[in-house]
């Protein structure tokens, strides 16, 4: 079936183009004639000046199936994804059984084939127990079926084990993706720059526990030649370490989350004066101080921080209503990421809309080798950044994965409307712009508001 999208602003490598387009399984056509006169037939959707952008990609989500389906499933997680404009997601391995063997992975793959509403690319675990310790997983057997290897949720504690994992991943042509947390540096009082470091439930998750392990790992990546990606960067020191490693030629990229870019821990009372220590503010790593937030924003601007990932981590209501001390770590993010970032960063004058689209839709696909048309010897638009070197190719912005985003009508984030099972978000009640009107994957509409 062909869908005609009229009166939209279409993302291209030269910026946004006001155009009418047709979308089908065969591809996308841009019409040159007057609006309303088309050489093809199909359903006509008036986009009313909405943005038409490539489908978003999130390389860090938790869909909880198998093992914890009461929190989220492949069906509900991908429903949340397409409602947020995503067509590609990569699922983390803290499952039961963990995807550390083919038998463990098969359960998840079967659920993906049966229930997924968008593309789902599972990670393989680095260690056999997905514990950051012990023996490596069956990486060679898993490699053809996984997007990369990670023990997300825990850091790989021993440098020797991480070296072994990097050498194996390098031989398999796969990324090592790391949740960086040195357990020997946990405990005591958190040392990040925040008003509530001594009182909130994040006590002991120190800034140093993150950046010290990144410091170790970039050296190992340099020595092994392994492609290395850092999860949910949250501290100013981490940004500095990664920036220096990139300048030295290390094959390293990183992500941060919307919550680290748009708030700091001193904001909790302003956001929710009645419950500033609510479980909806609890995640690992924690939201830190203003200096950390500002360093992450600077990292986005100068290209040190490569992409945005939500760390979508749903839990039951019971698990998230025990305050900062007692609640489980994790918030949901797929249905709020684009509108929050568009409202706070683009409308706030911090980055351009083109930059936001690049770091949410294109950069993740290029780094992780996910589906999307690549233009041979293409060049990123000038507004994409401040880097000296640019990739061999750039994603074709007119692939058959699209999201249609309304940026003209404000609305309040309401967790009761979420398609996923999780309801815990620090953005509850925020007035934002950027609601997803439609999500199209492979030319087919997979979500429509």
- Catalytic residue ranges: 311
Instruction: With beta carbons less than 8 A apart as the criterion, state whether 231 and 311 touch.
Output: yes
Q: Could you tell me how many helices (H) and strands (E) the chain has, helices first?
A: 13, 19
> Edge to edge, what strands does the sheet with 56-61 contain?
56-61, 86-91, 119-122
User: How many angstroms separate the CA atoms of 422 and 79, rounded?
Assistant: 12
- Strand, coil or helix: what is 433? coil
**What is the C-alpha to C-alpha distance for residues 244 and 415, in angstroms, rounded to an integer?**
39
Say if CB 137 and CB 127 are below 8 A apart: yes
Distance CA 162, CA 157 (A): 8
Q: Per residue, what are the HEC states of 8-76?
A: EEEEECCEEEEEEEEEECCEEEECCCCCCCCCCCCEEEECCCCEEEECEEEEEECCCCCCCCCCCCHHH
In angstroms, the CA 358 to CA 377 distance is: 17
Among the listed residues 252, 234, 255, 243, the one whose alpha carbon sits nearest the alpha carbon of residue 57: 255
Q: 399 is written with which tokens?
A: 């692939």
In sequence order, which residues have a C-beta less than 8 Å from that of residue 414 and are 6 or more positions away?
428, 429
User: Which secondary-structure segment (H or E) carries 241?
Assistant: helix 236-247
Contact in structure between 113 and 130 (CB atoms under 8 Å): no
Measured CA to CA in angstroms, residue 203 lies from 270, 322, 380, 425 at distances of 21, 16, 42, 20
Surface-to-core class of residue 195, CB atoms within 10 Å of its CB (0-12 exposed, 13-18 middle, 19+ buried): middle
């Amino acid at each position: 079936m062909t869908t005609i999208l009229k009166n939209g602003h279409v993302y291209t490598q030269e910026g946004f183009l006001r155009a009418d387009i047709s979308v089908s399984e065969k591809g996308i056509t841009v019409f040159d004639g007057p609006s309303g006169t088309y050489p093809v037939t199909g359903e006509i959707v008036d986009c009313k000046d909405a943005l038409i952008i490539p489908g978003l990609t999130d390389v860090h989500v938790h869909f909880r199936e198998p093992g914890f389906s009461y929190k989220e499933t492949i069906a509900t997680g991908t429903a949340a994804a397409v409602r947020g404009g995503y067509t590609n997601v990569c699922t983390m391995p803290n499952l039961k059984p963990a995807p550390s063997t083919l038998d463990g992975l098969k359960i998840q793959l079967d659920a993906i084939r049966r229930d997924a509403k968008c593309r789902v690319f599972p990670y393989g675990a680095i260690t056999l127990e997905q514990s950051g310790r012990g023996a490596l997983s069956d990486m060679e057997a898993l490699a053809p079926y996984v997007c990369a290897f990670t023990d997300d949720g825990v850091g790989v504690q021993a440098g020797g084990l991480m070296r072994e994992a990097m050498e194996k991943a390098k031989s398999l042509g796969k990324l090592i993706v790391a949740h960086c947390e040195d357990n020997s540096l946990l405990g005591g009082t958190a040392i990040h720059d925040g008003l509530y470091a001594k009182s909130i439930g994040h006590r002991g998750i120190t800034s140093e526990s993150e950046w010290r392990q990144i410091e170790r790992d970039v050296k190992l990546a340099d020595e092994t030649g392994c492609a290395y990606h850092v999860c949910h960067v949250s501290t100013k020191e981490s940004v500095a370490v990664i920036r220096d490693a990139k300048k030295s030629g290390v094959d390293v990229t990183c992500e941060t989350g919307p919550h680290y870019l748009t708030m700091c821990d001193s904001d909790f009372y302003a956001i929710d004066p009645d419950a500033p220590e609510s479980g909806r503010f609890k995640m690992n790593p924690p939201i830190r101080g203003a200096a950390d937030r500002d360093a992450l924003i600077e990292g986005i601007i100068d290209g040190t921080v490569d992409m945005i990932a939500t760390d979508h981590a749903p839990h039951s209501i019971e698990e998230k209503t025990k305050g900062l001390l007692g609640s489980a770590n994790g918030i949901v993010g797929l249905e709020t990421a684009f509108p929050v970032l568009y409202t706070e960063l683009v409308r706030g004058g911090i980055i351009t809309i083109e930059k936001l689209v690049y770091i949410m839709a294109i950069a993740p696909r290029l780094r992780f080798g996910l589906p999307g048309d690549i233009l041979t010897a293409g060049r990123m638009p000038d507004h994409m950044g401040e880097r000296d070197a640019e990739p061999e190719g750039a994603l074709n912005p007119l692939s058959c994965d699209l999201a249609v985003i309304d940026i003209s009508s404000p609305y309040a984030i309401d967790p009761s409307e979420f398609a996923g099972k999780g309801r815990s978000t620090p953005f509850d009640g925020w007035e934002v712009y950027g609601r997803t009107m439609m999500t199209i994957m492979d030319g087919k509409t997979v979500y429509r508001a």
